[in-house]
Amino acid sequence: MASRSSLLLILTVASVVSIISPATSQTCSTQNVLSAEKTPFQTCLDLPELESYLHYTYNATNSSLSVAFVATPSRSDGWIAWAINPTATTMSGSQAFLAYGSGAGAPPVVKTYNITGRNLTEGRLAFDFWNLRAESLNGGRIAIFTTVKVPAGAGSVNQVWQVGGNVKNGRVGVHPFSPPNLNSRAVLNLTGTSTTGGGSKTPGNAGWMMTNVNLEVNLGILVLLGTIIIF
């Protein structure tokens, strides 16, 4: 009888861990993403659509915004993009940084695009930027890094993000038009908080505190399940 209870406990724990692990691992606060200066970003957000994440630091002294956008392409030959729209909260008019894989062992390609309607035109952006690069991360994810110049005294910017279709011979295919793709835009508050993100980490110990809370809750659930099965 004890052996049967132990087996049930092991199976239940394995099931719970498989459910809990993705939810706790796929958050911005657990990603080891560093800026060009090899330092952590001040703030990160779990964006509300497309399982995407934004790490950023706003420097009011020189009106610059350093970002790392992390997402997984929807297919092996797909692309990801993060953009600022200087004039509206829509996708049309966005000034985008777009990246896609370039083969095994090679860093992703990253380019700049102007978005007009459903057309992506590679070219210069409406604002200055520097330190642009892209990196491949674990799990098939890609990270786009850059620093952009924002208007002096700006309290927020309009951000748009996307995961798209295939890339063939350098030609970028259109993204799906499902609700998550159409809703992947929000106002990014430069003060380190957001009214639309699914989660956030601000400077200090907030991110670590949330991780510890999740761990304690998960352990509590496992202990509770073990008690129910054994008794």
At 104 the pLDDT is 76
At 208 the pLDDT is 27
Determine the Cα–Cα distance for residues 82 and 98; give it in Å rounded to an integer: 7
Half-sphere exposure of 96 (CA within 13 A, CB side): 26
Angle, helix 206-230 to helix 2-25, in steps of 10 degrees: 160
Residues of the chain with pLDDT under 50: 6-24, 195-231
At 78 the pLDDT is 92
At 70 the pLDDT is 97
At 77 the pLDDT is 87
Residue 70: other Cβ atoms inside 10 A: 24
Strand partners for 148: 65, 129
DSSP helix/strand/coil, 46: strand
At 194 the pLDDT is 52
Determine the Cα–Cα distance for residues 96 and 86; give it in Å rounded to an integer: 11
At 119 the pLDDT is 67
pTM: 0.73
DSSP assignment of 89-158 equals SSSTT-EEEEEE--STTSPPEEEEEEEETTEEEES--SS-EEEEEEEE-GGG-EEEEEEEE--TT--EEE
Determine the Cα–Cα distance for residues 31 and 22; give it in Å rounded to an integer: 13
